[in-house]
Amino acid sequence: MEESKLREEPILDVREVMNILPHRYPFLLVDRILELEENKRIVGIKNVTVNEAFFTGHFPGRPVMPGVLIVEAMAQVGGVLLLRSIPNLSNKIVYFMGIDKVRFRKPVVPGDQLRFEVEVLRLRERTCKMQGKAYVGDKLVAEAIILTALTDE
């Protein structure tokens, strides 16, 4: 990624993400949103630090971010896309319905910055199918097809 991209101002910072998603510490896994095309695609960032609680046990002396949390972070980025794309988001919540074709390509470790690129494949009134990819630098580290349900709170 070009140096200018690293200094790019976010579309949404973490405070704005918290106004959209219901997640909070220790389960908010999105630090900022860099790009957003409503109903189409989104790019989000998660900075991975050694201070993450899960590194205590996964794995002692050799910390690796659990794959399930990479997929959760990817889904949270997708949730921001969906909730920003609909009117009256204050009474909506996005739930997982399923995940398919999950692949983990490389371990994610403290100091990495995950960049999630999530694209809508199919959007219906109450369901959405998205393809997500996670990168560290230019290396693909994980990918998944995410199925979600959009419901009233």
Order of strands, edge to edge, in the sheet holding 139-152?
Answer: 32-37, 41-47, 113-123, 127-136, 139-152, 92-104
Q: Stretch 29-55: mean pLDDT, rounded?
A: 96
For the question of residue 23 being annotated catalytic, the response is no
Q: Which pair of structure tokens corresponds to residue 107?
A: 């371990």
pLDDT of residue 8: 66
CATH of the domain at 10: 3.10.129.10
Query: b/e per residue, 109-136, with b = 16+ CB within 10 A?
Result: eeebebbbbbebeebeeeebbbbbbbbb
- What 8-state DSSP symbol labels residue 89? G
**Terminal Cα-to-Cα distance of the chain (whole angstroms):** 38
What six digits make up the tokens of 54? Answer: 């899960």
What is the count of structural domains for the chain?
Answer: 1
| β-bridge partners, 100 | 145
Question: Residue 3: pLDDT band by 50, 70, 90 thresholds?
Answer: very low
- pTM over 0.85? The answer is yes
Q: What is the CA radius of gyration of the chain?
A: 15
Which structural domain, as residue segments, surrounds residue 44? 3-152
Q: Which of 26-40, 85-99, 108-122 has the lowest mean pLDDT?
A: 85-99
Catalytic member of 23, 58, 129, 133: 58
Once rounded to an integer, what is the mean pLDDT over residues 131-140?
A: 98
Tokens representing 137 are: 């630098």
